[in-house]
A and B are shown apart, each in its own frame.
Chain A
Amino acid sequence: MSKPVKIFITYSHKDTAAKDKLIAHLAALEREGLISLWHDTEIAAGDKWRDAIFSSLAKLNLLLYLTSAASLASENCNEELAAALNANMRVIPIIIEECDWLRHPLSDFPVLPDKGKPIRAWKPESRGWKNVVERIQSTVTAMQSQANPPSEMSEKELHAELAFQRGNVLMTFGQLDKAVEAYSDAIHLKPWYAEAYYNRGMAHAKTAISPRAIEDWTMAIKLKPEFAHAFYNRGEGWLSLREWDKARADLTAAKNLGMDITAAFHNTYRSVSMFENRNGLKVPEDIVAMLRQYPVNSLTTTQKILTPDGELRNTHAVLQLLEKFRCAGKPLGEYVQGRSSGIITGLNKAFIIDPATRDALIAAHPSSADILKPFLGMRDIKRWRVKPSNRWLIFTHRGIELNAYPAIKKHLEEYKDVLQERIGRREWYELLESARDPVRFERPKCVYPYMASETAFAFDDEGYYVGSPSFVLPTQDLWILGVLNTRAVSWFHARTTPQKRKDSFLTFSPRSVAQIPIPDMDSAQRSLLHKLVEYILYLKKLPTTDGSELTNARDYVMVAYFGHILDGLVYELYLPDELHQGDKYFFQPLFDECLPQLEEIPGDDKVPAIREIFEHLFDKHHPVRKNHFFLDTLKPIRIIESKQR
């Protein structure tokens, strides 16, 4: 008899009743020994609840996600989902009630009940549950039979599907290189997988259309001749490569297959001329006519604009501002090349250790020190500075010679059983995903979390290794950091990146961050931004500005004020006409001050000198203070800061 499939149920506490129903319906399967349910009641009192869940996930096989408005909005549920995917669990969403799951990464998985008809919509509901249990039973049986391989083909197909889903999730997290890898795995396992080719093409095309993207779409079309989206995207690709005839043919084909190509085009581009400007070309009139959607004047009324992955409702005034931001400079992706995603361990419990364990490992064998690296989790990254929680990463990258590190080997062996259950072509002791080039972590760099309530780029010059879902922005240019950590950029990002979360958090990915326009500046302007960021980073190191004591509130205000000055400067860069019409200037009065660079301030303790600078600039008559204080009386700033009636 095969081992029972171990099942974890993710649910929002609001759906406890539904969870109990599901467990009741699964009772028969459990009795038959087909499945075993993991209960959160199994956690011993006093255990850290979340940690217990995450370490358990690695041992489980199937995650049932009770999908409701509450669970979609729940941070815990989504974290559990992400952890399950990292642990290569199979995922089945069960739709409880009408909710917006189609726009959630969950929609990539086969949903239950059939056709996604919510449990609540079945009359009586127990019929819905019955449908769910039947399907789970067949899935479970299939999983067991694949665990004891019956036919090689179906196992490969299953793995192909898993790899494909994995790629989709990595795409939503913006980890394009890894997504490409995952799709390639899927294609390798199932060479006729048209959707995998199509999505790999999308991944290739995210930064710029490349011949590889075109090849993938061509392959997808060959495998599935009615694949309208593949025709459309290849057509758009030909457009940017100025292959007008091919573009015309593909777009026509997509249209004939019933696709609304104008809508699809305007999902990505506001207008044909925007497409032309971006790619520096001129589209022939007849193709423009195929794609044109709005009469020229209709922009004066409020529009709904669709973005690639979701819906954003932006008013005309907002669209105009966004366009001004874009026209003020070049995307960040053109300033900062290359990027790194955070490391995925596949089992944090094994790879992420506390200082005591680290000391013990080094004491056991000195070689351990070579691959123990300071580690940052997503919550350790704050605006400007990281606040590390003192954890260490066992950096067993691909191809490492484990025998050189006997103490580490011994430590990891404790987890060997669980580690081996991770899917992927890895040795059991290797990290699941890590950058090929760890130097990126070692060098001074900017880092940012996947999720934050405002832009939270931090400068790290202490060589921290970053865990997923956080990212590295390989730059040491502090002026870029100064642009990014402003209200203007937070707003731009929130307005141009579809937000998958229903709470106040914004999500960031290398793809979305690369689109942030960095305004054009001369060297004096950059240098001013640089100086202010230096002050902030220096002050942020002090316990008085970073601790939780309320003493020295003035220093805290000082740091905030330097941030406000950057807000003002960056607004002036994006919207010079608007600010100057309202008589708001920041650069000129600050140039007049001739602020010293940090290194020009003598002495070891530079705080008194910076305090003096602050008090001078903070005087209520100083133009910088006044202009910032009254900045939100200007209409565009009121729109951005949501103060408009």
Chain B
Amino acid sequence: MRITGIELKNFRAFYGTYQIDLHKAGKNLLVYGENGSGKSSLYLALKLFLESSEERSPFERHRNIFNADDGYIKLHLREDPKANEAIYEWSQTVRNETDNPLILAASKSKGCLDYKVLLETHFLHSKSDNVNLFKLLVESLLANTINQVTAQALGGEWMALQSAPRPRRNAAARIAELDEQIERFNRGLTNKVEELQTLASEILRKFGYDVTLNLTFEGITYNREAKTLDNQQLLLTVEFLDREIPAHHLFLNEAKLSAISLAIYFAAILLQPESDLKVLALDDVLIGLDMSNRLPVLDILAAYFPNHQIFLTTYDKVWYEVVKQRTSEKDWKYAEFYFSKTDEYEIPIYVADKAYLDKAREFLTLNDYKACAIYLRTAFEEAIKRCCDKKRIPVRYRSEPNKLDSQDFWDAIKVENQKSAFLTQSLISEIELYRSRILNPLSHATIANVPRKEIEDAIEAVGQLGQLKTAFG
């Protein structure tokens, strides 16, 4: 069972509709995006969709507030490439489609980790030599892991324990009840860390650290006098060639703790039964690692998660290109998100979605001039870049290619056109006119005052530019 497509509408950063096609085979997805470009929204779309029938947060809470229209998340699923596609929707109006065994099972065994969790490792040894992983494990890395004593998720049990009413000192039956609840939690967590550490150490060794992890948990206890849960300690020590590292807080720097956290997280997922739909989504989690530690992650994913569908996001363009090189297009889909900013809101632009002009027309019919102008500008920039590329027109050199803007390309095209005249003069002057009034990021603040006819004409002109045989061979 694989995800073969994702459709999003007005979900968090996503303004309007987006479609990500993952092919009939349900490829893995690698997403590059600048910060704020919607890559985290995509990660959350997957995570929240899977959790939607367990969590009480309604779709409405995640709707894009700048767009008055309703939104949705739709997943397209196929049993295998030849099977029929099934579409599951989660939205304000369709709430129960995700409440089915397939999605519930996928959620129970899913891996969804974001960079924020790994940032917590930065605060781990503030006070002492000991690295106390209790909170990181129970509240983040193992929160979705099932306690095998109670068959409940550890994170939920920990929350329930924290909010359980504290019995009076002499309420013997209630104290006994709370103690039993604590014991079931302690036993479950102890067994889980015992079970984990071998596999986690094995995975950690793939990062190139030849060490063995030791996780020590002595169990939380209820303090009847202070009415507190004491001993919230799960200590990490590291053995190196069969001897403990004395000052291991020096060894355990942030990069290593990131790697250890990933290893523990992976081990926890691998030890539990697998559902039909196996999702592993990692949102920017590799940022804490050096480049040398990132490459092993690809090997780990290939070796331990061969049947999972993997979703990786990153804001590091270099890393994105590295992964692209090292993976095969047969199994992976690559997607880039950019964001386009107006004075009020941002719109992520999905690069694989070439039909920018259609999007512009769509928003025009909705009288959403701003979104229309953003897509129109994106279509324009895409057209002129493609033109320069195809006709090998020399463009002004800038040390940072990112800083090239549409002016550079357009100027180059105008110079080239004087030689070979592949554009008519009237098209050039039309484009010139719209460039200042519509196709310019600075114009978006005043776009509401531009007559509708003029925007329609601009769409027409950019359309002509994009379709010119002479320009694009």
B85 within 8 A of A: no
Chain A residues, Cβ within 8 Å of B105: 630, 633
Contact digits for B35-74, partner A, Cβ 8 Å, 1 yes 0 no: 0000000000000000001101000000000000000000
B189 CB → nearest A CB, Å: 8
Chain A residues, Cβ within 8 Å of B176: 379
Q: Please give me the residue from chain B that is nearest to A487 by CB atom.
A: B151
B99 within 8 A of A: yes
Please tell me if the beta carbons of B272 and A620 are within 8 angstroms of each other in the complex.
Answer: yes
CB contact under 8 A between A630 and B101, given known A50-B172, A620-B273: yes
Interface residues of B in 157-202 (CB under 8 A from A): 168, 170-174, 176-177, 183, 186-188, 190-191, 194
Q: Please give me the residue from chain A that is nearest to B184 by CB atom.
A: A560
B470 within 8 A of A: no
A554 within 8 A of B: yes
- Central interface residue in A76, A553, A561, by most chain B CB within 10 Å: A553
Chain A residues, Cβ within 8 Å of B187: 550, 553, 556-557
Q: Please give me the residue from chain A that is nearest to B181 by CB atom.
A: A453
Chain B residues, Cβ within 8 Å of A550: 186-187, 190, 217-219
CB contact under 8 A between A620 and B274, given known A50-B172, A503-B174, A553-B190: yes
Q: Please give me the residue from chain B that is nearest to A549 by CB atom.
A: B219
Chain A residues, Cβ within 8 Å of B146: 629
The residue that B273 contacts in the complex, of A560, A626, A645, with Cβ under 8 A, is A626
B233 within 8 A of A: no
B308 CB → nearest A CB, Å: 14
Chain B residues, Cβ within 8 Å of A629: 108, 146, 151, 272-273
A281 within 8 A of B: no
CB contact under 8 A between A630 and B174, given known A550-B190, A560-B150: no
A582 within 8 A of B: yes
Chain B residues, Cβ within 8 Å of A626: 273
CB contact under 8 A between A645 and B151, given known A75-B171, A75-B173, A629-B272: no
The complex places the Cα of A228 from the Cα of B219 at a distance, in Å, of: 60
The residue that A50 contacts in the complex, of B170, B174, B218, B275, with Cβ under 8 A, is B170
A540 within 8 A of B: no
The residue that B177 contacts in the complex, of A50, A504, A553, with Cβ under 8 A, is A504
The residue that B108 contacts in the complex, of A76, A582, A630, with Cβ under 8 A, is A630
The complex places the Cα of A458 from the Cα of B467 at a distance, in Å, of: 81
Contact digits for A608-643, partner B, Cβ 8 Å, 1 yes 0 no: 000000000000110001101110111100100001
Please tell me if the beta carbons of B273 and A625 are within 8 angstroms of each other in the complex.
Answer: yes
The complex places the Cα of A632 from the Cα of B218 at a distance, in Å, of: 30
The complex places the Cα of A379 from the Cα of B194 at a distance, in Å, of: 32
Please tell me if the beta carbons of A560 and B149 are within 8 angstroms of each other in the complex.
Answer: yes
- Central interface residue in A50, A379, A503, A629, by most chain B CB within 10 Å: A629
Contact digits for B85-110, partner A, Cβ 8 Å, 1 yes 0 no: 00000000000000101001100100
B205 CB → nearest A CB, Å: 22
A49 within 8 A of B: yes
Chain B residues, Cβ within 8 Å of A548: 183
A580 within 8 A of B: no
A127 within 8 A of B: no
Q: Please give me the residue from chain B that is nearest to A378 by CB atom.
A: B173
Please tell me if the beta carbons of A643 and B54 are within 8 angstroms of each other in the complex.
Answer: yes
The complex places the Cα of A381 from the Cα of B161 at a distance, in Å, of: 24
Chain A residues, Cβ within 8 Å of B173: 75, 379, 451, 505
B148 within 8 A of A: yes
CB contact under 8 A between A556 and B170, given known A379-B176, A504-B177, A633-B104: no
A385 CB → nearest B CB, Å: 14
Please tell me if the beta carbons of B101 and A633 are within 8 angstroms of each other in the complex.
Answer: yes
The complex places the Cα of A86 from the Cα of B373 at a distance, in Å, of: 84
B271 within 8 A of A: yes
Contact digits for A66-79, partner B, Cβ 8 Å, 1 yes 0 no: 00000000011000
A304 within 8 A of B: no
The complex places the Cα of A410 from the Cα of B190 at a distance, in Å, of: 52
Residue total for B at the interface (Cβ-Cβ under 8 A)? 36
Q: Please give me the residue from chain B that is nearest to A561 by CB atom.
A: B148
The complex places the Cα of A643 from the Cα of B105 at a distance, in Å, of: 13
Please tell me if the beta carbons of A557 and B149 are within 8 angstroms of each other in the complex.
Answer: yes
The residue that A13 contacts in the complex, of B148, B168, B188, with Cβ under 8 A, is B168
The residue that A630 contacts in the complex, of B148, B217, B273, with Cβ under 8 A, is B273
A549 CB → nearest B CB, Å: 9
Please tell me if the beta carbons of A645 and B170 are within 8 angstroms of each other in the complex.
Answer: no
The complex places the Cα of A141 from the Cα of B54 at a distance, in Å, of: 62
Chain A residues, Cβ within 8 Å of B273: 620-621, 625-626, 629-630
Please tell me if the beta carbons of A620 and B271 are within 8 angstroms of each other in the complex.
Answer: yes
Q: Please give me the residue from chain A that is nearest to B172 by CB atom.
A: A50
- Central interface residue in A503, A550, A582, A638, by most chain B CB within 10 Å: A550
Chain A residues, Cβ within 8 Å of B191: 553-554, 556-557
Interface residues of B in 226-258 (CB under 8 A from A): none
A564 within 8 A of B: yes
Contact digits for A476-506, partner B, Cβ 8 Å, 1 yes 0 no: 0000000000000000000000000001110
The complex places the Cα of A550 from the Cα of B217 at a distance, in Å, of: 9
Chain A residues, Cβ within 8 Å of B217: 550
The complex places the Cα of A76 from the Cα of B105 at a distance, in Å, of: 43
Please tell me if the beta carbons of A553 and B174 are within 8 angstroms of each other in the complex.
Answer: no
The complex places the Cα of A560 from the Cα of B56 at a distance, in Å, of: 29
Contact digits for B127-158, partner A, Cβ 8 Å, 1 yes 0 no: 00000000000000000001011110000000
Contact digits for A256-297, partner B, Cβ 8 Å, 1 yes 0 no: 000000000000000000000000000000000000000000
CB contact under 8 A between A582 and B274, given known A550-B218, A564-B151: no
Please tell me if the beta carbons of B219 and A645 are within 8 angstroms of each other in the complex.
Answer: no
Chain B residues, Cβ within 8 Å of A505: 173, 177
Please tell me if the beta carbons of B56 and A645 are within 8 angstroms of each other in the complex.
Answer: yes
The complex places the Cα of A616 from the Cα of B377 at a distance, in Å, of: 62
B156 CB → nearest A CB, Å: 10
Q: Please give me the residue from chain A that is nearest to B274 by CB atom.
A: A620
The complex places the Cα of A621 from the Cα of B424 at a distance, in Å, of: 68
Chain A residues, Cβ within 8 Å of B54: 643, 645
The complex places the Cα of A575 from the Cα of B53 at a distance, in Å, of: 23
B269 CB → nearest A CB, Å: 11
The residue that B194 contacts in the complex, of A50, A554, A625, with Cβ under 8 A, is A554
The complex places the Cα of A76 from the Cα of B167 at a distance, in Å, of: 11
B94 CB → nearest A CB, Å: 14
The complex places the Cα of A367 from the Cα of B151 at a distance, in Å, of: 51
Q: Please give me the residue from chain B that is nearest to A453 by CB atom.
A: B177
Chain A residues, Cβ within 8 Å of B104: 630, 632-633, 638
Please tell me if the beta carbons of B151 and A628 are within 8 angstroms of each other in the complex.
Answer: yes
Q: Please give me the residue from chain B that is nearest to A637 by CB atom.
A: B101
Q: Please give me the residue from chain A that is nearest to B276 by CB atom.
A: A630
B352 CB → nearest A CB, Å: 33
A370 CB → nearest B CB, Å: 33
A4 CB → nearest B CB, Å: 28
Contact digits for A39-82, partner B, Cβ 8 Å, 1 yes 0 no: 00000000001100000000000000000000000011000000
Chain A residues, Cβ within 8 Å of B272: 620, 629
- Central interface residue in A49, A504, A561, A630, by most chain B CB within 10 Å: A630
The residue that B275 contacts in the complex, of A560, A630, A645, with Cβ under 8 A, is A630
Chain A residues, Cβ within 8 Å of B183: 548
Chain B residues, Cβ within 8 Å of A49: 170
Q: Please give me the residue from chain A that is nearest to B173 by CB atom.
A: A75
The complex places the Cα of A416 from the Cα of B99 at a distance, in Å, of: 66
The complex places the Cα of A645 from the Cα of B90 at a distance, in Å, of: 14
The complex places the Cα of A505 from the Cα of B191 at a distance, in Å, of: 28
11 A-B contacts (beta carbon < 8 Å): A49-B170, A379-B172, A451-B173, A550-B187, A556-B187, A556-B191, A557-B187, A561-B148, A633-B108, A643-B54, A645-B53
Interchain residue pairs A-B with the least CB separation, the first 8: A633-B104, A553-B191, A553-B190, A633-B101, A560-B149, A626-B273, A629-B273, A556-B187
Apart from A626-B273, A633-B104, what 17 extra A-B contacts exist at CB < 8 Å? A76-B170, A76-B171, A379-B173, A548-B183, A553-B188, A556-B149, A556-B191, A620-B272, A620-B274, A629-B108, A629-B272, A629-B273, A630-B273, A632-B108, A633-B101, A633-B105, A635-B99
